[in-house]
Structure 1
Amino acid sequence: MDFTLPQEIETTRLQVRDFVEKEVIPLESDKANFDAHENLKESVVAAVREKAKAQGLWGFQLPKERGGRDLGIVGMAALYEEAARSPFGPVAFNCAPPDDGNMIVLNKILKTDALKDRWLQPIIDGKVRSAFAMTEPDGGCGSDPSLTYTRAEKVGDKWIVNGRKWFITGAEGAQTFILVAKTSDDERKGLTAFLFDKDQPGWEIVRRIPIMGPEEHGGHCELRFDGLEIPDENRLLEVGDGLKVTQIRLGTARLTHCMRWLGLAKRCMEIAGGYVENRMSFGTTLSGHEGVQWMMGDVAKEIHIGRLLTMNAAWKLDQGDFARKEISIAKIQVADTLHKAADTAIQLCGARGYSKDTIIEWIYRYARQARLVDGASEIHKMVLSKYYLSEKHDFFKWGL
């Protein structure tokens, strides 16, 4: 097994690392760069994005004919990890959620260049943001899409949508939306996915939901649909393929979360490592104490395990495999690792880690969502149990 990265990916990885170090991390220390939701102001994002584009650090996950680099899933794993050494790195390179997952799925399933020009290219170019509207309140769908009650009724050549969605990441300020709605009562083919534009009437943002941690741009919003009309030409795939659309999107998207979370975990330990090497305690630096070494070593081990699991799943995706169980395993491991890394870094840095003098407390609050988003850890463990009971010894086979 050769874990050496191809030269183009390795060269780009070092360029991304250098860019984050010089252009992104310095932005963290100036409060004037931040909005009311603890994210970078749009003007700051626009400026750093122009710098990234000028250096060719853009569209790692997208085809070259659309302005991307097309470096594959393995390449994304290496580059996203470096980008996310700052929480604000992914948005600088246009590989932040939810746009990242939306671009990937639209590139895969839109059938014509005209549709891609209309719906995909503006997101690639960074001219608009997007959102994926699936989750619902009041007993509606979360990890179980079959509980969708937002309905789309066919009337002539249009679909009329009524219902509600909530915790829709990035909805405030998004221009392009992917919507999953119920179109029949069929258990497997009852959902259909659609595209709609912010400027269409018949829907509204009810509220931006306050959350525990810092927010992505556009927050996490509750939406209401009251007669939204969507032309049939803006339907994604066939009627009844809504679940298929979500599976195509969420598979890779879950793994890209892992890639970024590993970058954040590494950053926590970088900060903690620098601190314990200089902080004196009882005649030696903190790093000289065995207990501190155990803590640092344990987190380093967990991060490395997460990286191997993530890269294994990325390789399988690049080979055309769905890598469902590998993605679930990585998602569980890396979500836990991110929280452990942030928690350990705070413990090692003491009051400084708990303060806002470093980015660690920001990451700590953000990390708690990792075990919930794109399928709670318990859901992924259920998935793994089903695979094991079905495959037995083959669950552990090597290769594809």
Structure 2
Amino acid sequence: MDFSLPPEITDIAQRIRALVETKLIPLEADPASYDEHQNIAKPLLARLRAEAKAEGLWALQMPKERGGGGLPMTGLAACYEEMNRSIFGPVVFHAAAPDDGNMRVLNMVGTEAQKARWLQPIIDGEVQSSFAMTEPDGAGSDPSMTYTKAERKGNDRWVISGRKHFITGAGEAKHFILMARTSGDNRTGLTAFLFHADQPGWRITRRIPIMGPEEHGGHCELEFDGLEVTDDNVLMGVGDGLRMTQIRLGPARLTHCMRWTGMGRRALEIAAAHIEQRRSFGTTLAEKESVQQMIGQAAMELDIGRLLTMRAAWLLDQGSLARKEISMAKIVAADALQKAVDTSLQLLGARGYSKDTPLEWMYRYARQARLVDGASEVHRMVLANFLRRLGKDFYQWGSYGG
């Protein structure tokens, strides 16, 4: 097994690291760098995005012919990790959710006309996008529980009614992918629709307050009461919505893991620097066995998450769906992130709990990792079902084709 990366990927990752260390991390300590929702301020973001574009580090997940970097998933794993060593990193390089997952699925399944209208403006950074699936009384981890409905009107359009909530980025998004029910069949009853924020027939009822820092556009509750979408803005085909969500959500979950390993690394870097200089009872903290146990355990768990993430990325590059491998990575990387941040905060004591470092920001952010894109309990259920179905083949090396 060879875990080394091609020289061109290593070069890109190193250039990302340099920009993160010299430009992004120093900005985190300045209160003026943040907006009112504790994310990077928009004027600063625009300047840094221009630098990322000038360095050829923009939208690395997208094809080169559309202005992206054309990297495979294994390359993205290395690069996304480097980006999220800064809390500002992913959005600066155009690798943040939900745009990341939306761009990927539009590029994979959209028609050429849909890519021109809906995808390219997202890639170019002209608009934000949002993925509207979760509902207050239904769909979350189980898309088949979608109650929002789309009904035929005439020969070429649909009228949509219902509610969605916790829709990330909706407050500033212009391009939306909306899941709605078009029949009662649990497998073929869902359809994905594309719509623009300026269309009538829908509204944002509230921006939901959350525990952690917020993405630009927050997490919103939406109401649909007559939104009309024409047939040419159906993504894939009528009844293909569940298949579309599976195509989108698997890789999207894995890119979360890629980013989380970077944040976990940064948290441990902050802790490592602190324990080398902080003295207590005659020695530095780094010389104390209990401290070594704490930071060593956190580093090990983080590296396990990195390995699972890279394995799943490799399988995706081979054409596998990597469903069980992505579920494993999602569980472990989420736990490892929280372990790394909690350990670092504990070792810094009151300083870690204060806003003098980004650790308290990371701590609040990290708690969502075990919830977003499928709670850890759901992914453990997925793994149990794979074990029941595959038996001994659950543990085979390489791809099993699922």
> TM-score range, shorter-chain basis?
over 0.9
* TM-fit CA distance, 1:26: 1.4
User: Could you say what secondary structure the match of 1:339 adopts?
Assistant: helix
> How far apart, in 2, do the equivalents of 1:360 and 1:232 lie?
47
> How far apart, in 1, do the equivalents of 2:62 and 2:143 lie?
27
> How far apart, in 2, do the equivalents of 1:214 and 1:41 lie?
13
Which residue matches 1:155? 153
- Ranges in structure 2 where 5+ consecutive residues have no aligned partner: none
Which residue matches 1:181? 180
> How far apart, in 1, do the equivalents of 2:114 and 2:324 lie?
33
> How far apart, in 1, do the equivalents of 2:114 and 2:37 lie?
34
Give 2:121's aligned amino acid: P
User: Could you say what secondary structure the match of 2:140 adopts?
Assistant: coil
Aligned pairs for 1:230-241 (under 5 A) are: 230-241=229-240
Which residue matches 1:36? 36
* TM-fit CA distance, 1:319: 0.2
* TM-fit CA distance, 1:33: 1.5
> How far apart, in 2, do the equivalents of 1:127 and 1:394 lie?
46
Give 1:84's aligned amino acid: N
Give 2:8's aligned amino acid: E
> How far apart, in 2, do the equivalents of 1:271 and 1:182 lie?
47
User: Could you say what secondary structure the match of 2:351 adopts?
Assistant: helix
Which residue matches 1:268? 267
Aligned pairs for 1:368-379 (under 5 A) are: 368-379=367-378
Which residue matches 2:63? 63
- Ranges in structure 1 where 5+ consecutive residues have no aligned partner: none
Task: Please give the root-mean-square deviation of Cα atoms over the aligned residues, in Å.
Answer: 0.6
> How far apart, in 2, do the equivalents of 1:37 and 1:81 lie?
24
The CA deviation string for residues 239-289 of structure 1, in whole angstroms up to 9 with x for no partner, is: 111001111110000000000000000000000100000000011110000
TM-score normalised over the length of structure 2: 0.98
* TM-fit CA distance, 1:370: 0.4
Which residue matches 2:47? 47
> How far apart, in 2, do the equivalents of 1:347 and 1:29 lie?
20
1:345 paired to 2:344: yes
* TM-fit CA distance, 1:388: 0.3
> How far apart, in 2, do the equivalents of 1:364 and 1:31 lie?
18
> How far apart, in 1, do the equivalents of 2:140 and 2:398 lie?
32
Which residue matches 1:78? 78
Give 1:282's aligned amino acid: F
> How far apart, in 2, do the equivalents of 1:99 and 1:187 lie?
27
Which residue matches 1:365? 364
Which residue matches 1:258? 257
* TM-fit CA distance, 1:175: 0.5
* TM-fit CA distance, 1:75: 0.5
* TM-fit CA distance, 1:111: 1.8
> How far apart, in 1, do the equivalents of 2:34 and 2:111 lie?
39
> How far apart, in 2, do the equivalents of 1:55 and 1:143 lie?
38
Which residue matches 1:141? 139
Give 1:42's aligned amino acid: K
Which residue matches 1:4? 4
The CA deviation string for residues 329-357 of structure 1, in whole angstroms up to 9 with x for no partner, is: 00000000111111100100001100000
Aligned pairs for 1:286-325 (under 5 A) are: 286-325=285-324
User: Could you say what secondary structure the match of 1:225 adopts?
Assistant: strand
> How far apart, in 1, do the equivalents of 2:87 and 2:162 lie?
33
1:94 paired to 2:94: yes
Which residue matches 2:13? 13
The CA deviation string for residues 187-227 of structure 1, in whole angstroms up to 9 with x for no partner, is: 21110001000000000000000001111111000000010
Which residue matches 1:202? 201
> How far apart, in 2, do the equivalents of 1:92 and 1:213 lie?
19
| Residue-pair matches, total | 398
> How far apart, in 2, do the equivalents of 1:97 and 1:383 lie?
23
Give 1:213's aligned amino acid: G
* TM-fit CA distance, 1:87: 1.4
* TM-fit CA distance, 1:41: 1.2
> How far apart, in 1, do the equivalents of 2:18 and 2:261 lie?
17
Give 1:168's aligned amino acid: I
Give 1:314's aligned amino acid: A
User: Could you say what secondary structure the match of 2:313 adopts?
Assistant: helix
The CA deviation string for residues 74-105 of structure 1, in whole angstroms up to 9 with x for no partner, is: 00000000000011100010000000000000
* TM-fit CA distance, 1:15: 0.2
TM-score normalised over the length of structure 1: 0.99
User: Could you say what secondary structure the match of 1:76 adopts?
Assistant: helix
Which residue matches 1:214? 213
* TM-fit CA distance, 1:365: 0.3
User: Could you say what secondary structure the match of 1:207 adopts?
Assistant: strand
User: Could you say what secondary structure the match of 2:277 adopts?
Assistant: coil
Give the percent of matched residue pairs that are identical in Structure 1 and Structure 2: 63
- The list of structure 1 runs, each at least 4 consecutive aligned residues, that deviate by more than 6 angstroms after superposition, is none
> How far apart, in 2, do the equivalents of 1:122 and 1:26 lie?
30
* TM-fit CA distance, 1:115: 2.0
